[in-house]
A and B are shown apart, each in its own frame.
Chain A
């Protein structure tokens, strides 16, 4: 009796579930830092899709794209957290529904 190896569909479904949890978290939380963490979760699940397809199509491009996504996420983290610190300094809160400076 031979066991089939893990199919790519399971990896893709897992990454879809993680992405959806990230979307729900980004929509429902008030704390801007938690929203930011949910965005990192979404980027991470997209990376999982890239690496899965790169493995099962036997190509290396997906791995390199995942590498670039990680680099962009690091840059985004630095700038985004600096913006949060600045907003907290001027408004004393980082709840996303109380920051309405650009609301029309």
Chain B
């Protein structure tokens, strides 16, 4: 009985969060003011973080909230403040047909995705990380990150240093 109640709540949370995230992303691409778009982006990221917790990945959920919803969106809002943008005007007929064709192709792509997902259960070799073991998710991630994935981890640090240097050089005033 308790398990059935748990599953029911899982369904409720999943459906609520899924609809909220779709709604937030639709509002993100339709609002004219970029600040409103940035706030709906934060809402979408928080919804996806809840989905990560439903999928037993607490580590990625925390990183999502801290890095995406905290750092990246803060950077975007800061740049919007620096640039002092006017409200976006309607683009008129310029490039209209290419937009319609591109949107139609994207929707077609979505139907292809849904068909391929519905047709076949994701098959493959199953690993050893069962949900019971995933309750210590952060520990498992840390162990893998410093053993099997040590080299990509170091490459990521080099990439971040490159990005910092690039950002500083780009935004430096030309003399």
List chain B positions with a Cβ less than 8 A from chain A: 4, 7-8, 10-11, 14, 18, 21-22, 25-26, 28-29, 34, 37-38, 41, 44-45, 48, 51-52, 54-57, 59-60, 63-64, 67-68, 71-72, 75-76, 79-80, 82-83, 85, 88-89, 91, 94-95, 98-99, 102-103, 106-107, 109-110, 113-114, 117-118, 121-122, 124-131, 134, 137, 140-141, 144-145, 149, 152, 156, 159-160, 162-164, 166-168, 170-171
List chain A positions with a Cβ less than 8 A from chain B: 1-6, 8-14, 16-25, 27-31, 33-34, 36-38, 40-41, 44-45, 47-48, 51-61, 63-64, 66-68, 70-79, 81-86, 88, 94-95, 97
- Which of B28, B55, B94 has most chain A Cβ within 10 Å? B55
If A21-B22, A28-B99, A71-B156 touch, does A1 touch B4 (CB 8 Å cutoff)?
Answer: yes
The complex places the Cα of A38 from the Cα of B31 at a distance, in Å, of 12
Contact indicator B107/A20 (Cβ below 8 Å): yes
If A68-B156, A74-B72, A85-B79 touch, does A22 touch B25 (CB 8 Å cutoff)?
Answer: yes
A to B CB contacts below 8 Å, 7 in the list: A4-B7, A9-B118, A21-B22, A27-B98, A31-B88, A73-B67, A81-B167
Chain B residues with CB under 8 Å of A10's CB are 14, 18
Chain B residues with CB under 8 Å of A44's CB are 44-45, 48, 64, 68
The complex places the Cα of A6 from the Cα of B121 at a distance, in Å, of 13
Contact indicator B21/A18 (Cβ below 8 Å): yes
Residue of B nearest to A54 (CB): B57
Contact indicator A11/B166 (Cβ below 8 Å): no
Top 6 nearest A-B pairs (CB, nearest first) are: A25-B29, A59-B127, A75-B163, A16-B113, A82-B170, A20-B110
Contact indicator A20/B67 (Cβ below 8 Å): no
Given contacts A17-B110, A83-B170, 11 further A-B contacts (CB under 8 A): A6-B14, A12-B117, A13-B113, A16-B113, A23-B106, A37-B28, A58-B128, A70-B60, A74-B72, A77-B76, A82-B168
